[in-house]
Structure formats: C-alpha cells, structure tokens
Amino acid sequence: MVSKQVYFWIMVWCGQTLVAAAATESHTKHPNIVLVLADDLGARDLVCDGADYHETPHIDQLAAQGVRFTQAYAPAPVCTPTRASLLTGKHPARLHMTIWSEGSLAGPTNRKLLQAHSLHDLPLAEKTVAEYLQASGYLTAAIGKWHLGNAANFPETQGFDIGIGGTHWGAPETFFFPYRGAGRFGQEFRYVPHLEFGKPGEYLTDRLTDEALRVIDFAAKAKRPFFLYLAHHAPHTPIEAKPDDVAYFERKLDHQLRHRNPIYAAMIKSLDESVGRVADRLESLGIYENTLFIFTSDNGGYIGQDRKQTMPVTTNWPLRSGKGSLYEGGLRVPLIVRLPGNEHRGETRNQPVVLTDLFRTMLVLSDVESKDALPDDGVDLTGILKSGARPNSREEFYFHYPHYYHAPRMTPAGAVRSGNLKLIEYFEDNRLELFDLARDPNEETNLALELPGDAQRLQSRLAAWRDRVGAQMPKSNPKFKN
Ligand SMILES: [Ca+2]
C-alpha cells in the first residue's frame, strides 16, 4: 500500500511534469517574436538592399536566413504614425495619428494651410498586437523608442509587461550615457528612463541591446514565449556613434560611393551588431528555431543635415527624396522576416506590402486567436511569405500626410499606389503627380497630363478612401498672405 507521503510526492511529480509539458507545448505552439524596428533607416541603407559604404553583415545574414521584401512601405513617412499603425493594424489616417507626437501639438501658422488635427497619444481603447499576445501568455517587452504618448499612454498601458527606455520624445538628446540633456531639440530637458546604471562612454544602441538580452534570458528561463519589440533610436538624429567606428568609416570614405556619412555608417554598424547579438543569444539558448524575427524601419532615410554636419545624413537613391516625403524614398523601408522553422531561406519578395500588414501577420504566425473583429487596413502576409508567386490580396496602398516637413520641403499631401501607378495629390493647390513605378522607379516623369483618366480615377479613389477611414484634412489658413 502506498503511504500518504509517497502518494503526495507522486502527485507533485506528476503535476510538475504536466506543467513542464504544457509550458513546452505552448512554447512550440506560440513562437517567440522579435521585432527590431530601426528609426529612419532608409530603404537603401543595408548592404542586402544595395548600400555601398555601410556594413551590415548580421542583418544581411538574417536576410539570408529569411525573406527580404524589396517593396515594403511604411504606412507614413514619419515616426509616430508608422509605429501606431504597425502595433494596431490600423491605418494612421484612421487612427488620426499622421504626424510625429511633438509635431501634433502645433503646426506652422505662416503657411497656406493649417495642418490637420493629429493625436499626440495612442488612445488606450486601441488594442495593440502586444495586448493580444499578452492575453495568450506571451511575455511582452518594449525596449527603446516609444513615441506614442505621455506616461499615461506608455507601453505598460498597451499590453507590454516590460517597458524600458521609452518616452513621448522621438529622439534622445544624446546616444551616450547618461543619455540626457537639453539644447539639441529645443530647450526641453530630455532623458531615457531605466538606463541609469551605466558608465561614461556607454552607447545607447549597445545598452538597449543589453536590456533586450535580459528580457530574452528571463523569458527563456521561465519557458515562456515572448514578444520583444526592440525599437532602436538609431540611426535617427542626433548623428552620433562610437569614436572607433567613426574613425574606421572615415578611413574607408570614398567619394565615388553613394553613401558618404561616416558617423551614420558607424551608427548602422552598431545597429547591425545589435541584431547579431540578439540572434546569437537566441541561438545559444536553443530557441532561435522557434522565433519569428522581423527587422524593419519606421520611415525612409533622412536626407536633411544633422546639426553641425555639412553632409546629408543619407541618400535613398535611386528612390526619390526621403523621410517626410510621399515619394518612394520617404515611404519605402527595409523589411526582413525570418520565419519560425527557418523556412524560405534567402528568398526575396517583390510584392508591395505595408508595415500595417505585420499586425495580422504576427498574430497568425504566433497562432494567437481572438474573438475580436481585427482591423482590416493590413492583410496577413503569411501566404506571400510562404509562396513567392502570390499577389498581395490588397491592390491599393494609401498614404496621408496632411502636414508640412522641412527637409525635403514638403507640403500637405496624400498618395495612392494602384498596381504600378502612383498618384500624389498636394492639398495646397490640388496639384497632381502621376508616376509609373515600373518604368520610372525614381519618380522623375509626371504623367498626370499625359494620362488624365488615370490621374482622375486615382484621385477619386483617394478621396473615397479618405472618407471611408475618416481622414483628417488640413484647413485653409485665414491669416496666410502670399
Ligand atoms: Ca523615424
């Protein structure tokens, strides 16, 4: 006869075995998700996308192990709207978040139009991908740039268990410890919270990676699937990098090359090393195989100059223009997706996609079920990821930027891409530009007069779409004088 004590320990052992089995099963069923979001990294800034001066061996290796998209769009040409859209699956125009948070507070008052209303904070009622994943048992962490509102709207209110380093600001005062000060972005004192125990010389991209590795270690030890949203500040301004890396790229500088900014190149080197360190840690913990790893950027490369610099930050050539513009250089971004199980290694996809699509794609690939009706501004990319021949189920891509921008000089506008035709409509004077992206990928030849039927059709489609999503429009400025 089994004594009560032995019976007790048998029951404890059985219980532990069942719990461990359940944990393993849920871990396999729900792959980990690592989403590395660079800030202002242009569509031609990675070597795998054609960069000639930068060095990105680790990100290139990710592309060699996954699927690289050659026509990925950010849903907006600036930070906040893309981030909000990526996390919620809704178009920035539907969210009424169309400019970066600080820019929503006050627009220029001396221009022909007063900028459209745009929210500073992502409303709490919006349900992020982190909320769905958290409800399914994922450990969720947002490390780095947030830029979706004040403290009452920080990552912890949007489904993240862990929030490190995020604020409502779009950029740190400096990339070097203690990451604080005033003057670069006006007189406001800026800081990066939760990174206090650092040392002089410590670099922000490295430190955010350290924090990301802590999250991975913690989740792996707890045997929990995790969602790591690692939103680096790099390579956004201020253009600052580690001195040794800058010296290396200064030595390598060649004026025959397209990219020629050694500090920016050094910032990208650190970003690349971050991806390598995260991948190595996943590998050494034996969980890389069961991880969905996504690398992308929130808008096109910035072609203005940082303070004190005499050269542009980057170029998106052959794509026209850059951050803040509705030309391809402002909207197109790198996108690499390494699937769990490491399928479809080294493949490319030429179908246009938009980062809003990542919301549904992450939920489908993580096998997270929801009774909610999910927003349909984005589509599930699983089919395209697994079959290169499949077209995107959505044929038209809409953009709405009812604001001004400084470099390049940009006036409020909207755009639609339908097939290979792309129309840009400028709201100040109703001017239209129509491009055939297949023949003219750098948008040099305006076909609006040559193809008036297409221009009119796309303009009507754009207006109808704005009505459907409730897009906010700029208003005429009664005080404007020519
Ligand atoms: Ca950005």
* CATH of residue 89: 3.40.720.10
Q: Which of 302, 243, 234, 257 is nearest to 53 (CA)?
A: 257
- CB of 149 within 8 A of CB of 143? no
pLDDT at residue 11 is higher than 70: no
pLDDT interval class at 308 (50, 70, 90) = confident
Average pLDDT over residues 78-82: 98
Distance 451 CA to ligand 1 centre (A): 34
Domain membership of residue 292 (yes or no) is: yes
Instruction: Evaluate if residue 217 carries a pLDDT over 50.
Output: yes
* Å from CA of 162 to ligand 1 middle: 22
Q: 141-159: per-residue pLDDT in tens?
A: 999 999 999 999 999 999 9
The alpha carbon of 32 and the centre of ligand 1 are apart by a number of angstroms equal to: 25
Residue 354, SS3 per DSSP: strand
Q: Choose the weakest-confidence range: 57-71, 271-285, 304-318.
A: 304-318
CA of 49 to the centre of ligand 1 (A): 19
**Torsion sign (Cα): 241, 37, 160, 189:** positive
What spacing in Å lies between the alpha carbon of 40 and ligand 1's midpoint?
4
Q: Is the pLDDT of residue 6 over 60?
A: no
Give pTM, 2 decimals. 0.94
- Is there a domain that residue 20 lies in? no
**pLDDT value for 17:** 46
Give me the residues near ligand 1 (ion), CB cutoff below 5 Å: 39-40, 79, 298-299
Cα of 79 from ligand 1 centre, angstroms: 4
Cα 113 to Cα 472: distance, rounded to the nearest angstrom = 13
- With H, G, I as helix, E, B as strand and everything else as coil, classify residue 427: coil
User: Shortest CA distance to 225 belongs to which of 233, 234, 216?
Assistant: 216
CA of 414 to the centre of ligand 1 (A): 19
Which has more pLDDT, 49 or 371?
49
CA dist., res. 44 & res. 52, Å (int): 9
Cα gap 7→214, rounded to integer Å = 39
**Do the domain assignments include residue 288?**
yes
What does the pLDDT read at residue 309? 82
User: Mean of the pLDDT values across residues 259-286?
Assistant: 98
Residue 254 placed within a domain: yes
- Residue with the larger pLDDT of the pair 350 and 370: 350
10 inside domain: no
- Rounded to whole angstroms, the Cα distance separating 254 from 258 reads 9
- Other C-beta atoms within 10 Å of 257: how many? 13
Q: Are the C-beta atoms of residues 47 and 64 closer than 8 Å to each other?
A: no
Count of CB atoms situated within 10 Å of the CB of 198: 17
Residue 456, domain member (yes or no) = no
How many domains does the chain contain in total? 1
Report whether 121 contacts 149 (CB < 8 A).
Answer: yes
CA distances from 379 to 98, 159, 283, 395, 422 (A): 20, 22, 30, 11, 20
**Would 448 be classed as within a structural domain?**
no
| Residue 399 falls inside a structural domain | no
**Domain with 132 in it:** 30-388
Dist. CA 299 → ligand 1 center (Å): 5
Cα 184 to ligand 1 centroid, rounded to whole Å: 17
> 396 burial class (0-12, 13-18, 19+ CB within 10 angstroms)?
middle
Ligand 1 mean position to 300 CA, how many Å?
8
Ligand 1 center to residue 322 CA distance, Å?
A: 11
- Cα of 103 vs centre of ligand 1, distance in Å, is 13
